[in-house]
Amino acid sequence: MSAVAQHRVVGIDIGGSGIKSAVVDVQTGEMVTERQRTDTPVESTPAAVAEIVAAQVRALGWDGLVGCTFPAIIKNGVARSAANVHKSWIGTNADEVFTASTGLDVTVLNDADAAGLAEVRFGAAKGVGGVVMLLTFGTGIGSALFMDGVLVPNTELGHLEIDGHDAETRAAASVRDREDMDWPHWAKRVQRYLSHVEALFSPDLFVVGGGVSKKADRWVPLLDLNTPIRPAELQNEAGIVGAALAAAERRGE
């Protein structure tokens, strides 16, 4: 294997609507192939998702390490929840399912954790020490927590109870769309949420991701926090890049 090939890993990002993948150079964070995308099956059972993952790996002609994000709490490769995928995933060893379907060594981690890894290594949090927190605002609120660049996995801070409500039911981007809120109105919701998180963790940096980060100029300036806040930089590539990084770091690449 060439020195270049040794630094390449396939990253796969499994979401509720789509499954995306590419080969990633884990030294630079760049995708070195075109991104593939397949719709997530309506019946997103382990067998159905594993079939798509295997097909994408074959299409890439790949026979090395694979990293894979998953919308769930992942403990030692096992899914302990299931967000926007079939509930039969709960209790399933996702590492083993994808390893069996691809015949390759697959590392699975939570999707927000993967995005956070990418931002810490190559994006908005690169070179930032101390406590860094990525929060993704989408259908819900995902979170990834880092201490001096080391991931604290499966934080699930979107489910903090604030004012008697699960936080993401008030401040997720989907809520802004559903309730047809303007940016200032929604920013007040985000302010309440981030102020609470700030009081609990005293972070050195917030990174905000999700689709709304592309319009950060519409709402981030409205926030009043002690913690610096930056929009995520890797956008739709973050999950793929972070998944590849996790696989490489697990195997010491």
- Distance separating the N- and C-terminal Cα atoms of the chain: 13
Reported as a single tens digit per residue, the pLDDT across 211-236 is 899 999 999 999 999 999 999 999 88
Q: Which domains does the chain have, with CATH numbers?
A: 3-113+237-250 (3.30.420.40), 127-233 (3.30.420.40)
Question: 139-155: string of b/e by CB count within 10 Å (b at 16+)?
Answer: bbbbbbbbeeeebebbb
Reported as a single tens digit per residue, the pLDDT across 31-42 is 999 999 999 999
- For the cut 80, the answer to whether the pLDDT of residue 249 exceeds it is yes
Per the DSSP assignment, residues forming a β-bridge with 135 are 143, 208
Give the phi and the psi of residue 139 in degrees, each rounded to 5. -60, -40
Tokens of 89: 């995933």
Q: What is the pTM of this model?
A: 0.94
Confidence of residue 1 (pLDDT cuts 50, 70, 90): very low
* Cβ pair 134, 207 in contact under 8 A: yes
pLDDT over 70 percentage in the chain: 98
How far apart, in whole angstroms, are the C-alpha atoms of residue 111 and residue 64?
21
Reported as a single tens digit per residue, the pLDDT across 106-134 is 999 999 999 999 999 999 999 999 999 99
Tokens of 47: 């067998």
Tokens of 162: 């604030």
The DSSP H or E segment spanning 21 is strand 18-25
